[in-house]
Homo-oligomer: A and B are copies of this chain.
Amino acid sequence: MARRLVVASNRGPVSYARDAAGERVTRRGGGGLATALRPLVKHEDVTWIASAMTDEDRAVADEAGGEAFAEQARDGSVYRLRLVAQDPQAYEGFYNVVSNGTLWFLQHYLWGLAYEPTLGAELRRAWRDGYEAVNRAFADAVLAELEHADAAVCFHDYHLYLAPRFVRAARPGALLTHFVHIPWADADYWRTLPHELRVAVHEGLLANDVVGFHAERWRSNFVRVCEQLVGAEWDADDCVVRYAGRETRALVQPISIDVDEFDALRDDPAVLAEERLIVERRPELLVVRVDRTDPSKNIVRGFRAFALLLERYPELHGRVGMLALLDPSRQSLPEYAAYLGAIAVEARAVNDRFRRGDWWPIDLQIGDNFQQAVAAYKQFDVLLVNPICDGMNLVAKEGPVVNTRDGVVVLSENAGACAELGEWALPVNPFDLEDQAEALHRALTMPADERRRRAAAISAHVREHDIEGWIAAQLTEIERLADPAPRV
């Protein structure tokens, strides 16, 4: 029998719009999280709570009287969707100031602390009137759903750190879980936040029965910060953080991808068309990167490392090229606009320095084209995934599953994925240009049998640990909590 679940995430699985004819259309939601959670709907009785993002979302929410309504997934599964229409100004503070403008920077160590951040009244206002308000709206929606019928509640990501505590206060017996999809920073970096805010984040998460992370590093940081900032106690035997008379299990459950989806995409006509374009233009050796233009993705240093490769190994000139498929991201934040500019400047500098005749070292493509990304995954000889810091990074899993050339993955040691794939990828320090340039060279000159062995191992690992496994691990934990008898 399907278990009843309430899933709460800022971005939902679908979004609504009007087409040219004025008809309402459903668009598959962007963002890795909504994609990852989609298979859940197949097996379980899911009510999904998300923010109304578009005008049409708000119209849909309004028509439903703010209640949940039935929606159908592409595979025909039925689930219920509840869209929370946020106040636009509250949402601005919640989304741009606190979530993306503060927590994201903090949790990826992106501040140059000598000059930024400058925190104060503006942050506190955005916190109180935005982040708290939106979290309370989510909590209210969750509580309304729990009024209808009991359910386990699954909160997701850095937008919703406070909601669990609001729900817990109203329903002490609720079964609450939270999954954190981004890194957990060390204690000193959390200390940049005003005292009451950093305490609220950790107390919010410790109102859950379970908090999940993609890698041991992030869980271990979380546990230590809980000890240092709110005086919680860690019981390593039971993986439990004790605080304020409650227990919260802190677990490592690495997310993965929908392998079936990528197997199907491999022969998708749109992907094949994109692949033909790449094949026509590709050099002998193709380095690929696929990223949002986020400062945490370390794109500028990646170009510099590629330039160092060309400087050290002139025999590669004319033979190797980097295809960088970059999706513009969060351009309303000035740091992101500046970073996109820095990316363009650096790519141009590398090309100006090394290009000759028809050969341009870097092919920079700014845009959002998923089929093109899958086509590039099929064609890479080297996949460069070098984030400064990354909760997991699914590019490192998607690419190898569809790649056709025994491509090598050069992978940042600070990506959660490195804990799983580091044995078969070439791990690099993302701040170290020399390390990255030499890893690219090693990957480009690796003997065929070693390439094959490494590529096969990564693909096999991802196939064995796919998204269904990640969801099953969470459901097992929910079962265990709902029926604690087996614990005895």
A residues neighboring B (CB under 8 Å): 108-121, 124, 183, 185-189, 191-195, 217, 220-221, 224, 228, 295-296, 298, 300-301, 304, 308, 335, 339, 342, 388-389, 413-414, 429, 431-435, 437
Bound: A301/B114 CA distance, A: 9
Bound: A328/B194 CA distance, A: 30
What are 25 A-B interface contacts by the 8 Å CB criterion? A110-B113, A110-B114, A112-B115, A113-B389, A114-B339, A115-B300, A115-B342, A118-B301, A118-B304, A119-B433, A119-B434, A120-B308, A120-B432, A120-B434, A120-B435, A121-B434, A186-B189, A188-B189, A188-B221, A188-B389, A191-B429, A192-B429, A194-B434, A195-B429, A224-B224
Residue pair B432, A119 in contact (C-beta under 8 Å): yes
Nearest-neighbor residue (CB-CB) of A185 within chain B: B188
Interface residue from B112, B183, B217, B435 paired with A110 (Cβ < 8 Å): B112
Nearest-neighbor residue (CB-CB) of A117 within chain B: B431
* Residues in chain B near residue A188, CB distance under 8 A: 109, 183, 185-186, 189, 217, 221, 389, 414
* Residues in chain B near residue A437, CB distance under 8 A: 120
Nearest-neighbor residue (CB-CB) of A305 within chain B: B120
Q: How many copies of the shown chain assemble into the complex?
A: 2
Residue pair A192, B115 in contact (C-beta under 8 Å): no
* Residues in chain B near residue A109, CB distance under 8 A: 113, 188-189
Bound: A437/B433 CA distance, A: 41
Interface residue from B115, B195, B431 paired with A113 (Cβ < 8 Å): B431
Bound: A191/B192 CA distance, A: 19
* Residues in chain B near residue A221, CB distance under 8 A: 188
CB distance from A438 to the nearest CB of B (A): 10
* Residues in chain B near residue A111, CB distance under 8 A: 112
CB distance from A89 to the nearest CB of B (A): 20
Residue pair A435, B194 in contact (C-beta under 8 Å): yes
